[in-house]
Amino acid sequence: MEVIIQPNKEAAAALVARIVAHELRANPHLVLGLATGQTMECLYRHLVRLHQTENLDFSLCRTFNLDEYVGLFPADPNSYRYYMNHHLFRHVNVDIRNTHLPNGLATNLNEECLRYEATIKGFGGIDLQILGIGKAGHIGFNEPLSALHSRTRVKALTPTTLKQNAGAFGGEDKMPRRAITMGVGTILECHRCVLLATGDSKARVIAQAVEGPITSMISATALQLHPRATVVVDEEAASELREKDYYRWIFDNEPEWEHLR
Ligand code: GLP
């Protein structure tokens, strides 16, 4: 795992955008895994800017989102389909038919989960997966006790997640209690993953995810098993990491990161 610390949330999101751009330019057919949440809004702003100012081309790439709420229509402003259209897809030249999210309205949700997995596999797997992290340490909606080999499935949301995401719904009682999410095992199969976390509310969980023991209670700790996982944080989210100076030294000196410095 590599940790890159940036001075603030804009710089952290800009760096992740540069990683996406680098991969997309190297492979225009990139299969890109995407995430939602407030943290990602900043990343998508930077990607839109790169599209507008540097012609970053999304026309051949395919996208797969990590998750979607059960029971929300795509036109519902709280659905992740709406979020993705609103923050990214309609501002860049991605072919909307190449953008995939689990269908939380499917009559048979278990079949939908299998279909989603098969579609990802059909495109040869995810090349680059972008991840956020929930306050309780989940990636996607892999809530505490998600098996580290889990596949795409329906998960019941924990009280912490309901509380964290309820604002947009106007209260916990108005939000779906279940979501379809890629499993931890599904996520670990991507070729490369980049987790973006900013703000002091993520400091504790970032320290646990990066430097703590691997546990299904905090699904982000499973990224320690991934051969190519990068965690990009701002100073606030990095504040509880013990080995900050070591991570900084690596980023400042490793030739691999030359193009991002
Ligand atoms: C939701 C999403 C996660 C995301 C998390 C963090 O739970 N399912 O994929 O990482 O929110 O959101 P935020 O960036 O708003 O803190």
- CA 255 to ligand 1 center in whole angstroms: 32
Dihedral, 5, 7, 8, 9 alpha carbons, nearest 10: -30
Tokens of residue 257, six digits: 């990161």
> Using CA positions, which residue lies closest to atom 1 of ligand 1?
37
> Using CA positions, which residue lies closest to atom 9 of ligand 1?
140
Residues 126, 120: Cα–Cα separation, whole Å = 7
Mapped onto helix, strand or coil, the DSSP state of residue 3 is strand
Measured from the CB, is residue 141 less than 6 Å from ligand 1?
Answer: yes
> Using CA positions, which residue lies closest to atom 11 of ligand 1?
37
Which residue is listed with tokens 């309820």?
Answer: 166
Measured from the CB, is residue 35 less than 6 Å from ligand 1?
Answer: yes
For 139-163, the DSSP string reads: STT--TT--TT--SEEEEPPHHHHH
Q: What is the structure's pLDDT at 256?
A: 87
Maximum Cα–Cα distance across the chain: 53
Q: What is the structure's pLDDT at 128?
A: 98
Q: What is the pLDDT along the chain (261 residues), one digit of tens a residue?
A: 999 999 999 999 999 999 999 999 999 999 999 999 999 999 999 999 999 999 999 999 999 999 999 999 999 999 999 999 999 999 999 999 999 999 999 999 999 999 999 999 999 999 999 999 999 899 999 999 999 999 999 999 999 999 988 988 999 999 999 999 999 999 999 999 999 999 999 999 999 999 999 999 999 999 999 999 999 999 999 999 999 999 999 999 998 888 888
Counting ligand 1 atoms within 8 A of each CB, the residue from 133, 163, 233 with the most, and so the one to mutate, is 133
Crossing angle of the two packed helices 38-54 and 9-26, in degrees rounded to 10:
50
CA-132 nearest atom, ligand 1? 10
Tokens of residue 147, six digits: 């098996």
Mapped onto helix, strand or coil, the DSSP state of residue 196 is strand
Q: In the 8-state DSSP scheme, what is residue 62?
A: E
**pTM greater than the 0.85 cutoff:** yes
What domains can be seen in the chain, in order of their start residue? 2-257 (3.40.50.1360)
